[in-house]
Each structure stands twice: as structure tokens, then as C-alpha cells.
Amino acid sequence: MHIEEKQLKEFILDSGLVSKADITEAGKEADETKTSIGKVLVNKGKLTEDDIRRIQAYIIGIPFVDLKGEKLSFEVLSLIPEPIARNHNIVAFKKTDTALEVAMLDTEDLTAIDFIKKKVGLKIFPRLTDTDSIKSAILQYQKSLKAEFGDLIQEDIKIFKNIPTGEAAADASAEDLKKLADDVPVVRIVDTLLKHAILQDASDIHIEPQENELLVRYRLDGLLHDAMVLPKNMAPSIAARIKVLSSLKLDEKRLPQDGRFKIDADGEKVSFRVSSLPTYYGEKIVMRLLRENVSGFTLEHLGFHGDGLERIHSAVKSTTGMIFTTGPTGSGKTTTLYTILDILNTPDVNISTIEDPIEYQMKRINQTQVRPDIGFTFASGIRTLVRQDPDVIMVGEIRDGETATLAINASLTGHVVLSTLHTNSAAGAVPRFVDLKVEPFLLVSTINIIIGQRLVRKLSDGKEKYFLTKAEIETLSKTVNLNKVLAVLKDEKIIAQGDIWEKVPFYRLKKGVAPDDGFKGRIGIHEIMKVSPAIKEIILKSGTADEIQKQAEAEGMLTMIEDGIYKAVKGITTIEEVLSVVSE
């Protein structure tokens, strides 16, 4: 059923999810671009696609169902084949003798509805739902990884009996290994590994040869989990298959190798960054999963909010200067920079990057991979990029003084420069630059903002509300400026103006809910330090990181731990998770 734009606009306004000013502005943009006001608000980060679906469901009178965490009958679920469910975002969840209720993201997908009606011979009742519900239901199609691998192994066990191991495997020729890699059972097992990793939102796959077995582990929400134990004699063939996919040398087992390959998983392009490392028991392989289409992320989606978000938007509007993200490996620095690049990526802007590796491929952005083995480094790459008439340059990482100096010089000559740095805090970036022999006067002339960040696990539906005791508040106040956090919560209307900490709810896992079920996904906690005149004075006087930090906090910067407490109040994560991630 088609919904009139006027009707949609009125219902969005009545919902109270978006201010009248934002709706008016979005309406003008929708008229100019001849698109839906709902789409404009989603692109601006004011609403999510699921918010729009809930409003649409209300307008057209279709029930909205929430299936997150629901255990669905496999008998009902399997009435719709898994490929159809995934490709059309539709799942069966309730059945009677005459009818089948299906949850879907687009109730106008008549092709899918007709197909299911013909297949099951029942009346179909469409219901709208959200993306998390669809994802939760589709995961239930999967047998346990162990069962699926067990079936594959038992079915094809004969092929592995004669596979060489130990010294015999080490002496196998590239031709022999290629034959192993192309055997159907090996292909099926590796494909299954990759498929499950994608479905479970793993960020990494570890394949680790042990003395008597081959261990497969997934990194889910930042933590490694055992996924499967396979027979040891499968290691050479699995390693060979992955090497074939990533164009690595099959007969090179003594030196580390790096490669990359890409697959199309049900319309989603996923790149795998592969690293092989010789160990005592064989080659360990680690694959990093990279979803290529980062476009569509917003800063709000990554966890930015309030004054910190405004500081980033202000820096993004500048035509010169530098924006840095800092934090340890795997803290989401590159994703933050790509999201900022997505904001800057307009037809009138020329954006070039120099990266190692290229983690996401983005349209209309000129991305370059460093090749140190042939002398093409970050430093030589920056020298070339500035001659390519760029408006914005992204340098994957500042690793040495030459790269730092060239990046700063690029900023001084009229470019916006984005990059990452490995430091524990935003303030710690300044002494790090000084260590790299960058003059303080150059830093104050170029750096606009520095973003420090970590990732914390997000609570799912298995959470409960609770309140801190006075003793717990006193303990927490020793590491967190609770007055400042309370003020921010009130300013952003998360809590009432008269609330005190004893009345502010926090959230934790419900009793009996396992951590693996209670947490789903990760979000950033941040500190966004604007290089203000006062901070510039401290830098010019060669001030310490502690002095810079103190001044930034005095100017209203939320620290990472304070931002974590803010998100704990919102029910996004727990206090314990924040404290475990941020070390003071």
C-alpha cells in the first residue's frame, strides 16, 4: 500500500522522534531531490530505517512484530527456504491450519509473498518487523556449526585419510597442494567456515593447528570463541584452499604471507584479509572480515552524540586542518574515519587515500594501497597525492616522523587530512607527535580535533534495570566525574532535570542470561578533544599529556570512561564492560 508523503510527514511529526525544525528542513530537501522525507531523515541520522517501518506499519494498519530473542519453531521457520528468507528479508513465525504469518521488512515484496503462498498453500498474513528481528530469525536456520561440520566431515572423511601431514606435508609440491585445495569436500568446508562467520557477524576467523587437532575460533564482539575442533590432518588442505583464494604461494610455509580475497554472500560483498604465520605445529591462518559497503553509517550510529558530535561536524566543515582518531588496534578508528569520509564525499570534492590495507572500498574515492616491498610507503604516497589536486587526504596511519611531517605539510598547504595514531588517549597524541620530531608550532597550526576511542559490547534484550547504592556511587566517583556526566544526561534529556544518581537507572544482564546471549554487537565510547586556544598554549610550552587532558576536561570534554557511563545509563552497555575496556 502506497503512503502519501503528506501523511508520512504528519505521522513522523506526531511520533515525537524528530523535531519540527528537522522535519521542515528534511521536507525542503525531499522536494528538491524528489525523494521521500523518510529517506532524507534516515540519511541525516535523525531516524533509523526501522523507525520508518514502525511508522509505516501504524499508518497502513499492519501489525509490527518484534522477533528479537524469540525462539521460533523450526518446523514453521523452515516453511520458507533459507535463501529466500535471506534474499527477501522474510521469515515465517506463526502458523495455523489455514494461514501463515510472515515477518518482513518490505510488505510490498509481492514476489516473495506469491512464492510462499504457492509453496505452502496457505493464506499469507504479512507483518512488518525490524532488521534485528530478521537477522535473529535467520540465524535460527543454521544448525550448530559443530553439527554442520560433522555432517561434512563424516560424508567426506575418506578424502582426508591419505592427506600428508608433518614432514610429508611440508615437502608437498605446489601442484599437489593445488589438487588438495580444489577437492570438493575441502571447498565445501572452507565455504561453510566463511558462511557461518558472516552470519554470526564475526570480525575474524582463526585457524590454529595444535599438536593433535585443528582449532577454529571466531572473534565475536571483540572476544574469541571456540567454533570447531577438526582433525589435524585437515590442516594442510584447508590452508591450501585459503591460499588459493587469496593468491598466496602454496609451497611457501616458512615465511609469513599476506593476501586478500572477496566473496559475494547473498548480495553483501565481504572482503577477507588473510595472514598466514608459520608456527611449531603448522601454518596458523587469521582472516579479518571486512564488509565493503560502509556507506550509510552515521556518526550517531557509531556512538557519537552531544557536544562531541558537534565538534566533529564543525571540524568536518573546515577546508583545512587535521582530524585524528587514536586508540589501540581494533578500536574502530578506521571505521570512524571512513564514516567522516562518507560525509565529505560529495560530487564537488576530490578525496584520495593512502592505506595499509584498504579495508573498505568506497565509491568516488581514490584509494591507494602502500607497497613497502617496492618502496611505495605512506611518505612517498603522500608526496604523490598532494600533486593529484585533492581536497581531502586520508593517511591510514602515522607510523614515523617523515609521514607525520608530510601529513602536516599537506594540511598547511590547504588540504583536510585525516589519519590514525596508536595512543591511549586523545591528549596522548600530542606527545606522540613530539616524539616523532614534529615541531609544536606546526601542531597548533594544523590539528582541529583528536578523537580517542574504544569499543564496548552492547547489551541485547536480555537486560534488566537496577539502581546504584550510595556506596557504589562513591566508589565510581573516584574514577569518573559523575557531576559532569549527570549534567550531560540532563542536557541531552536522557534523564529528568531533578534526578540524582540514586534515581538514575543502569542496566545489567538478567540473571540466568549467558554473556554470549546478553551482548550483541559493539559501539564506540569516545573522547573528542578540540584543540582550543588554551590547549594550543600548553602545546607550545611543551606541556605534558596530563596537562592537556586536564584542560580539555575543564573545557567540557567527556572522557572515554565518562562517555561509557553515559551509554550505561542509556542501557546500551554495562558499567562493568566500560571499566574493563578503559584502563586508567
The string of pLDDT tens digits covering residues 546-559 is 999 999 999 999 99
Find the range with the poorest average confidence among 160-169, 261-270, 293-302: 160-169
Q: Mapping DSSP to helix (H, G, I), strand (E, B) and coil, where does residue 465 land? A: strand
CA separation for the pair 314, 416 (Å, rounded): 13
Number of H helices, E strands in the chain: 27, 18
Q: Is the pLDDT of residue 203 over 90?
A: no
Distance CA 277, CA 258 (A): 9
* pLDDT per position as a tens digit, 493-507: 899 899 999 999 999
Architecture of domain 74-139: 2-Layer Sandwich (3.30)
For residue 162, the one-letter residue type is: N
- Choose from 125-139, 247-261, 360-374, 443-457 the range with maximum mean pLDDT: 443-457
Domain ranges across the chain: 5-60, 74-139, 145-291, 299-581
- Looking at per-residue pLDDT, the higher value among 13 and 434 belongs to 434
Q: Is the pLDDT of residue 152 over 90?
A: no
Here the contacts of 61-65 (C-beta below 8 Å, separation 24 or greater) are: 62/107, 62/126, 62/127, 62/128, 63/127, 63/128, 64/127, 64/128, 64/129, 65/93, 65/101, 65/103, 65/127, 65/128, 65/129, 65/133
Residues 6+ apart with CB under 8 A from 513: 462, 463
Say whether pLDDT at 206 is over 90.
yes
* pLDDT confidence bin for 469, thresholds 50/70/90: very high
510 contacts 578 by C-beta, under 8 angstroms: no
d(CA 38, CA 40): 5
363 or 311, which is more confident?
311
pTM recorded for the entire structure: 0.69
Q: How confident is the model at residue 463 (pLDDT cuts 50, 70, 90)?
A: confident
Coil vs helix vs strand at 230: strand
Which of 336, 339, 366, 363 lies closest to 351 in space, CA to CA?
A: 366
Residue with cell 604523490: 384
Query: Which is higher by pLDDT, 573 or 230?
Result: 573
Q: Residue 19 above 90 pLDDT?
A: no
Q: State how far the Cα of 291 lies from the Cα of 486, in Å rounded to an integer.
A: 37
Strand partners, 421: 326
Phi first, then psi: what are they for 207, rounded to 5°?
Answer: -115, 110
Distance CA 349, CA 392 (A): 8
Name the average pLDDT for the chain. Answer: 85
Interval 70-75 mean pLDDT: 78
Interval 290-318 mean pLDDT: 84
Comparison of pLDDT for 201 and 534, the residue scoring more: 534
Among 3.50.30.30, 3.40.640.10, 3.40.50.300, 3.20.20.70, name the CATH number for the domain at 299-581. 3.40.50.300
Question: Is residue 530 very low, low, confident or very high in pLDDT (cuts 50, 70, 90)?
Answer: very high
Per-residue pLDDT for 572 more than 70?
A: yes
SS3 sequence of 391-433: CEEEECCCCCHHHHHHHHHHHHCCCEEEEEECCCCCCCHHHHH
Residue-level pLDDT at 226: 83
Cis before 164 (ω within 30): no
| Half-sphere exposure for 261 (CA within 13 Å, toward CB) | 17
pLDDT of residue 173: 64
Q: Give the torsion sign (CA, 75, 79, 81, 84).
A: negative
Choice between 563 and 46, residue whose per-residue pLDDT is larger: 563
| Residue-level pLDDT at 159 | 54
Q: How confident is the model at residue 154 (pLDDT cuts 50, 70, 90)?
A: low
Q: Which of 27-36, 160-169, 552-561 tops mean pLDDT?
A: 552-561
Greater model confidence, 15 or 340: 340
Higher-confidence residue of 111 and 431: namely 431
Q: Which CATH class is domain 145-291?
A: alpha beta
pLDDT digits over 96-109, tens only? 888 999 998 887 77
Judge whether residue 144 has pLDDT over 50: no
Rounded Cα distance, 506 and 473, in Å: 12
What is the pLDDT, as a whole number, of residue 172? 60
Average pLDDT over residues 197-221: 88
Residues 295-308: what's their mean pLDDT? 84
